[in-house]
Amino acid sequence: MPRKRKKTVSFDAMVKFFMSTYDIPTKKDISRLMDRIDRVEKLIRTTAHSRKKQVISRNSIRGKGPKERVVATASDEVFNVIKRFNNGVGFPDIQDRTGFGDKKIRNIIFRLNKLGKIRRKKRGVYIAV
């Protein structure tokens, strides 16, 4: 009994199959992506430029510069809690007053100790220097 001959696959079909299977972008895909990026960059430039004009005009009318808001860092918050206690403060008290997690407080205490801002009175109790 003669064997049935299989149909040969063209090279182009094989390439298209691999490109679709392995999500390889085509030249057309890349050009579309570049066009979209160009549009986004242009939009960013125009909005940033218009915002800059608005900020300058508002500030010049008032005669004031932009206000800077000082935000306390997590290290500052922990250090302020430790400073309030003269006899030292325990780890659970720091955690209750700041609301930070266990690991975050441990890292902050390590850093403050390394900087010389606090010292350890005993295990789990810290004093501001």
pLDDT digits (tens, 9 = 90+) for 47-87: 877 666 555 555 555 666 666 667 789 999 999 999 999 99
Q: Which pTM was predicted? A: 0.46
Residues 25/30/33/35 CA torsion (nearest 10 deg): -160
Q: Which residue has the higher pLDDT, 128 or 60?
A: 128
| CATH number of the structural domain spanning residue 92 | 1.10.10.10
Q: How many domains does the chain have?
A: 2
Residues 124 and 78 reside in one and the same domain: yes
What pLDDT, in 10s, does the model give residues 19-53? 989 999 999 999 999 999 999 999 998 887 766 65
Q: What is the CA radius of gyration of the chain?
A: 32
122 and 79, same structural domain?
A: yes
Find the range with the poorest average confidence among 19-23, 59-63, 98-102, 117-121: 59-63
Would 67 be classed as within a structural domain? no
In a domain, 110, yes or no: yes
Other beta carbons within 10 Å of 71: 6
In terms of residue numbers, what domain contains 105?
Answer: 74-128
- Asked if 86 and 116 sit in the same domain, the reply is yes
Q: Taking a C-beta distance cutoff of 8 angstroms, is the pair 75, 111 a contact? A: yes
Structure token digits, residue 50: 């218009």
3-state secondary structure at position 120:
strand
Residue 98 belongs to some domain of the structure: yes
Rounded to 5 degrees, what angle do the CA atoms 105, 107, 109 make? 65
On whether residue 20 sits in a domain, the answer given is yes
